[in-house]
Structures are given as structure tokens and as C-alpha cells.
Amino acid sequence: MGDSWRVIASRGFRWDGVELERYKSDPSLFDGVTRQVLLGGAGEEALALELRYFEVEPGGYTTLERHRHPHAVIVLRGRGSAVLGSDSHRIQSHDCVYIPPELVHQFRADCGETLGFVCVVDRVRDRARQVPTDRPEM
């Protein structure tokens, strides 16, 4: 039997049957972030990618990090900032962000509203490496 199809119904910015996960294990590295793996999770190994949705609460931020794999990000909700290397860029709904391999990056919900974005990454990828916030290696 071939791969089976699946439709995931959304309820706002939550998807039926998709677990709301903790962003990472060390809460000292981020604040107010959740994630959902929408496609490419268990049972969908035929996909070469993972499609994930992240939400960052007002005032929250993701880990300042880098890794060898690229990201493709589409902002679906709110406004905030994307730290890319030594620059910070304002982002908002419908903006697209490309993060090349090894670029230090972070997303911040620093405009007083929830920032929600879809992030596409390779299914097989390296683990993120934290960058010290006092002296990022750009």
C-alpha cells in the first residue's frame, strides 16, 4: 500500500490532532515559544522536510542559534523582529525570511503582539548550536 493522505483542519492557529509542543528543553534560552509539527512528523517519513508552526508570545523570543541547515519562514500572524547575523529586521504577516546555513538568527515578538510563523526545514538536519547572547559569533 502507498502513502496515505491526510488533511489537518485548523482552528485559528491550532491544528486538529497536532500536539502543541514545548519549543526546547532549556527554558533559560527562550521565552514564550510553542511549536507544532504540521507535516513531516511520524508516519510521514516520505517527506524530505518538516513543516512546523511556532508561536512567540508578546515579549517572547526564540533561542539565538545557528546550524548547518537552511530555514524557510513565512510569518502568518503578528509583527516582530528577525535577528539575522548582526542585523535586526522588522517582520509582519505574509513576510518571508530565508535563513542560510550557519547564520546566527532569532525571532522576537517585540511589537506587543503574538508572532506566529511557519518554518520549513530538512527532515534530516543537524542540531542547533546556541550562540552566547553577550557576544554572538556572527
What CATH number corresponds to the domain at position 86?
A: 2.60.120.10
pLDDT at 49: 94
Residue 89 within any structural domain of the chain: yes
Which backbone phi and psi does 46 adopt, to 5 degrees? -65, -25
Residue 16 within any structural domain of the chain: no
For residue 49, give the H/E element and its range: strand 49-61
pLDDT at 137: 45
The answer to whether residue 75 scores a pLDDT higher than 60 is yes
Q: How confident is the model at residue 134 (pLDDT cuts 50, 70, 90)?
A: low
The answer to whether residue 107 scores a pLDDT higher than 50 is yes
In which domain, by residue range, is 81 found?
Answer: 21-115
Q: Known catalytic residue: 119?
A: yes
Average pLDDT, the chain: 90
Residue 133 within any structural domain of the chain: no
Residue 98 within any structural domain of the chain: yes
User: What domain count does the chain have?
Assistant: 1
pTM for the whole structure: 0.88
Find the catalytic residue in 64, 84, 91, 119: 119
Q: How confident is the model at residue 136 (pLDDT cuts 50, 70, 90)?
A: very low
- End-to-end, the C-alpha distance of the chain in Å comes to 48
pLDDT at 3: 60
Residue 10 within any structural domain of the chain: no
Residue 14 within any structural domain of the chain: no
Residue 4 within any structural domain of the chain: no
Residue 95 within any structural domain of the chain: yes
